[in-house]
Amino acid sequence: MGGTPATARPASTLRARRRSLLLALSSALVVVVAVVAVSVAIDGRTSNQSPGSALPDAAAVVAVFHGLPQHGLDLGSPSAPTTLVEYLDLQCPWCGVFARDTFPTIVRRFVRPGRVRVEIRPLDFLGTDSARGREALFAAARRNRAFQFAALLYAHQGPENSGWLSAELIRAAAASVPGLNGVEVAAAGPSTEAARRIERHRAADGVTGVPTFFVKRRSDSGRGTMLVNPSETELATAISRS
| pLDDT over 70 at 72, yes or no | yes
Q: What is the pLDDT of residue 221?
A: 84
CATH code of the region 58-241 = 3.40.30.10
167 pLDDT band, cuts 50/70/90, is very high
What pairs with residue 74 in β-bridges?
71, 119
Q: What is the pLDDT of residue 53?
A: 66
pLDDT tens-digit profile of 205-230? 999 999 999 999 988 888 999 999 99
Report the C-alpha gap between 108 and 92 in whole angstroms: 24
Q: What percent of the chain has pLDDT over 70?
A: 78
pLDDT tens-digit profile of 107-159? 999 999 999 999 999 999 999 999 999 999 999 999 999 999 999 999 999 99
Q: What is the pLDDT of residue 57?
A: 87
| pLDDT over 90 at 14, yes or no | no
The 3-state secondary structure of the chain, one letter per residue = CCCCCCCCCCHHHHHHHHHHHHHHHHHHHHHHHHHHHHHHHHHHHHHCCCCCCCCCCHHHHHHCCCCCCEECCEECCCCCCEEEEEEECCCCHHHHHHHHHHHHHHHHHHHCCCCEEEEEEECCCCCHHHHHHHHHHHHHHHCCCHHHHHHHHHHCCCCCCCCCCCHHHHHHHHHCCCCCCHHHHHCCCCCHHHHHHHHHHHHHHCCCCCCEEEEEECCCCCCCEEEECCCHHHHHHHHHHC
* Mean pLDDT, the chain, integer: 84
CA–CA distance from 62 to each of 56, 139, 240, 242 (Å)?
12, 17, 26, 28
The contacts of residue 19 (CB under 8 Å, 6+ apart) are: none
